[in-house]
Amino acid sequence: MKFRDIGEFGFIDSIKAQYDIPAKSLIKGIGDDCAVLRYQSGRVLLFTADMLVQDIHFVIGKIPFYQLGRKAAAVNLSDIAAMGGRPLVLFISLAVPAETEVEEIQELYRGMWEICEPHGLTIGGGDTVASPDKLVINISVIGDARENEVLYRSGASLGDTIYLTGYVGDSRAGLKILTNEITPPEEVGTYFIKAHNEPVPLVEAGMSIAASGIASAMIDLSDGLLSDLGHICEESRVGALLFAEKIPLSSELKRLAGVVGFNPLDFALSGGEDYQLLFTVPAEHEQGIEELFKEHDLTAPYPIGEIVQGQGIRMVKADGSAAELQHKGFNHFNRN
């Protein structure tokens, strides 16, 4: 069997089945945004790692090294945010082609530091090796949290409301512009490119949601709304119902869709790399979550659906009809 046949998540499932062996200090291993390790009474360490490969995740010349550094750090901090944790230290490993300009890699580090500094995050080291032709960036982040506050993908229950922290679909539009698949009106092009190149990790929102004890499950949107909600459904052994009219779309995306001619909802459902937080809340705590966001001066989250019995994800359209949706997201080994 080839990787194109099994895909990233199929391979992860096969590894999990063989090697996800219980350990005394390991509370959660394969299958969530971070591994969770107990390290002292009442507190846990969170560990995440993410890799970016030239011409797969980024194209030299399409994103400045400074922005690339910011993004490489941000996507890892987003994983910590998805568990409700506080980031502590970041490690950087690079495989660098020998002809790369030193100043370019220094710009990469400058971008990483711009993300790390506001969160009090230390760069703790890493490794640098030669690469024959492609730049490869591997980031690992260690965070911590109170053990009883960590939010997993597996906590959603029947009747929970599904919330999103912000707009989805803008990053995919930015990618389409960068790859010359879409030509936007000049005044909105920069907005979408920034949405794709400069995601913002919602660390404070994640910590606030987790500390409240109100939410039941959480994940960040890296692979796309349907794919990542699918992870919550699978881990929680539930289904989901989405309401098309409640999914938050920016006015810029709606405008671009009208000019270029595409369905903005398609971008929102399967675009990926929006790095919003998707979380579930028991119905009796809906007012509490709204008050929480107001108290912390955060933009109110969007209720987009509910957790239901069964499997899979269905969507209710504006006309009241419902349809089953496929959990499609980015597939590293079959990108057709």
Report how far apart, in Å, the C-alpha atoms of 279 and of each of 25, 106, 132, 301, 302 are: 26, 36, 42, 10, 10
* pTM across the whole model: 0.89
Domain ranges in the chain with CATH number 3.90.650.10? 153-325
SS3 72: helix
**Mean pLDDT, range 74-102, rounded to an integer:** 96
From first CA to last CA, the distance across the chain in angstroms is: 19
Residue 307 identity (one-letter amino acid): I
Strands 122-131 and 86-97: parallel
pLDDT (tens digit per residue) in 152-199: 999 999 999 999 999 999 999 999 999 999 999 988 999 999 999 999
Instruction: Write the CATH number of the domain with boundaries 32-149.
Output: 3.30.1330.10
d(CA 98, CA 86): 36
Rounded to the nearest integer, the mean pLDDT of the chain is 91
**CB-based contact 265:249 (threshold 8 Å):** yes
**Both structure tokens of 8:** 């990233």
SS3 336: coil
d(CA 285, CA 283): 5
Domain ranges in the chain with CATH number 3.30.1330.10? 32-149
pLDDT (tens digit per residue) in 268-314: 999 889 999 999 999 999 999 999 999 999 999 999 999 999 999 99
Based on the number of CB atoms within 10 Å of its own CB, is 91 exposed (0-12), middle (13-18) or buried (19 or more)? middle
pLDDT (tens digit per residue) in 199-248: 999 999 999 999 999 999 999 999 999 999 999 999 999 999 999 999 99
Class of domain 153-325: alpha beta
Q: How many CB atoms lie within 10 A of CB 24?
A: 7
**CB-based contact 200:170 (threshold 8 Å):** no
**CB-based contact 144:225 (threshold 8 Å):** no
**CB-based contact 307:237 (threshold 8 Å):** no
What pLDDT, on a 0 to 100 scale, did the predictor assign at position 233? 97
What pLDDT, on a 0 to 100 scale, did the predictor assign at position 14? 67
Cβ-proximal residues to 152 (8 Å cutoff; 6+ apart), any chain: 28, 32, 83, 217, 218, 235
